[in-house]
């Protein structure tokens, strides 16, 4: 069950199957596992390259984690206050940095 503070994983006009898939990801723990994997990759990238910012494409290139997995988990990390958007774009992608 969603709380008032938890952003939805599906859009309001998505079919019911999208809501069911999102619920399944939450219940199985896969959402948390993916988010933790992306968070660890961000920290490792920062530690090894001293890069202050990144895009989903760059993180995909350096870590091999699927681009769409990264892209979808960045908003969750942003909502938790771990990363933030810089406000610029690079190669068509939003640029993020550690919060």
pLDDT tens for each residue of 4-17: 445 567 677 778 88
User: What are the φ/ψ torsions at residue 53 (nearest 5 degrees)?
Assistant: -145, 170
Q: Fill in the DSSP letter of residue 97.
A: E
Domain boundaries 16-98, CATH class: mainly alpha
Alpha helices in 1-99 (DSSP H): 16-28, 30-49, 56-63, 67-79
Q: Which comes out higher in pLDDT, residue 15 or 97?
A: 97
Going from N- to C-terminal start, the domains of the chain cover 16-98
Tell me the pLDDT of the chain averaged across its residues: 87
């Amino acid at each position: 069950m969603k709380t008032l503070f938890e952003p939805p994983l599906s859009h309001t006009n998505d079919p019911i199957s999208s809501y069911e898939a999102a619920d399944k990801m939450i219940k199985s723990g896969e959402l948390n596992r993916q988010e933790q994997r992306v968070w660890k990759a961000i920290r490792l990238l920062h530690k090894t390259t001293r890069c202050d910012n990144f895009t989903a494409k760059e993180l995909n290139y350096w870590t091999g984690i699927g681009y769409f997995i990264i892209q979808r988990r960045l908003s969750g990390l942003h909502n938790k206050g771990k990363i933030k958007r810089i406000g610029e774009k690079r190669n068509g992608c939003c640029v993020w940095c550690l919060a």
